[in-house]
């Protein structure tokens, strides 16, 4: 009999610490001893109120910032030690969608070039025109969008462009940092539905950051709750939603807007019944 070896996490954080020094000499501890593992096919939600360290953690997991202590491993290799080829592989396979597409998309570039840019820089262009068209289609935008500029779109459409740009390199992992919190409530659900479909169709591993437990519930099967730079609770989403252990998790759940069923039109009058 052979023992199957345990799966290797795609990304792993070990004992991450992050300190920020302010000009006045003060210090903020943004992360304290954070450990997590992300496996293929995971949909992991990181929740916590503003300032709890979620974005700092995402930036460090993406190698956009260095930890003050601890390390991040990408498929068992320490990220800070990745050689150029492996770093390129990492950049291709782990992509990010930010909260505000207006600041993450260069306003002077046409949508075609915004989507084609990562393909060009990672030398993944085969037929640029049809690659861009296909990506636009996969996020529900018409191919004519390619000729326009980001400011010509609504907030939700801009987030679709940012998602198309992130998907172009065929990532295995998508990180999304508050991708719907700048959007109107009505648009939020559309983008969450889009992400749910893409995770399924593209077999994506998802790391989804939000201050809102109601939003995370739509998408994630595992959850990590952060407070003041520390992980206070983690586990399966359904366990955490049904039996939250930490008082802070219970507070977050109480603050999350209830998801109410849509009001149904009355059969006799056609009026909305609440």
Q: Which residues bind ligand ADP (CB under 6 A)?
A: 20, 28, 30, 48, 50-56
Work out how close the CB of 270 gets to ligand ADP at its nearest, in angstroms, rounded to a whole number.
45
Work out how close the CB of 255 gets to ligand ADP at its nearest, in angstroms, rounded to a whole number.
15
DSSP-derived secondary structure for 205-216: EEEEEES-HHHH
Nearer to ligand ADP, 23 or 83 (CB): 23
Work out how close the CB of 12 gets to ligand ADP at its nearest, in angstroms, rounded to a whole number.
19
CA 209, distance to chain mean position in Å, is: 6
Nearer to ligand ADP, 48 or 101 (CB): 48
Work out how close the CB of 264 gets to ligand ADP at its nearest, in angstroms, rounded to a whole number.
38
The answer to whether 27 touches 19, Cβ cutoff 8 Å, is: yes
Nearer to ligand ADP, 43 or 56 (CB): 56
The DSSP bridge pattern shows strands 77-78 and 69-74 to be: antiparallel
At a CB cut-off of 8 Å and minimum separation 6, what does 224 contact?
36, 44, 45, 46, 47, 231, 233, 234
CA atoms within 13 A on the CB side of 261: 6
Work out how close the CB of 57 gets to ligand ADP at its nearest, in angstroms, rounded to a whole number.
7
Nearer to ligand ADP, 36 or 164 (CB): 36
Closest residue by Cα to residue 159 from 92, 201, 97: 97
Nearer to ligand ADP, 42 or 178 (CB): 178
């Amino acid at each position: 009999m052979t023992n199957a070896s345990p799966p290797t996490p795609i990304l792993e954080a070990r004992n991450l610490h992050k300190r920020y020094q302010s000009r006045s000499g003060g210090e903020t501890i943004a992360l304290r001893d954070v450990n997590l593992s992300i496996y293929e096919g995971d949909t992991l939600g990181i929740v916590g109120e503003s300032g709890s360290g979620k974005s700092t953690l995402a930036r460090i997991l993406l190698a956009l910032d260095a930890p003050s202590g601890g390390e991040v491993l990408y498929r068992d290799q320490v990220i800070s030690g990745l050689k150029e080829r492996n770093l390129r592989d990492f950049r291709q396979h782990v992509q990010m969608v930010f909260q505000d597409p207006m600041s993450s998309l260069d306003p002077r570039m046409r949508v075609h070039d915004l989507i084609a840019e990562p393909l060009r820089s990672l030398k993944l262009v085969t037929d640029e025109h049809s690659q861009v068209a296909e990506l636009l289609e996969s996020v529900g935008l018409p191919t004519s969008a390619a000729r326009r500029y980001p400011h010509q779109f609504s907030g939700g459409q801009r987030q679709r462009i940012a998602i198309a740009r992130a998907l172009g390199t065929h990532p295995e992992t998508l990180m999304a940092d508050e991708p719907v919190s700048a959007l109107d409530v009505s648009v939020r659900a559309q983008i969450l539905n889009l992400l749910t479909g893409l995770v399924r169709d593209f077999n994506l591993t998802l790391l989804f950051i939000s201050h809102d437990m109601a939003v995370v519930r739509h998408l994630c099967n595992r959850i990590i709750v952060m407070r003041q730079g520390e992980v206070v609770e983690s586990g399966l989403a359904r366990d955490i939603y049904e039996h939250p252990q930490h008082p802070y998790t219970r507070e977050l759940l109480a603050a999350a807007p209830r998801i109410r069923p849509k009001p149904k039109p009355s059969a006799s009058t056609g009026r909305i019944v609440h």
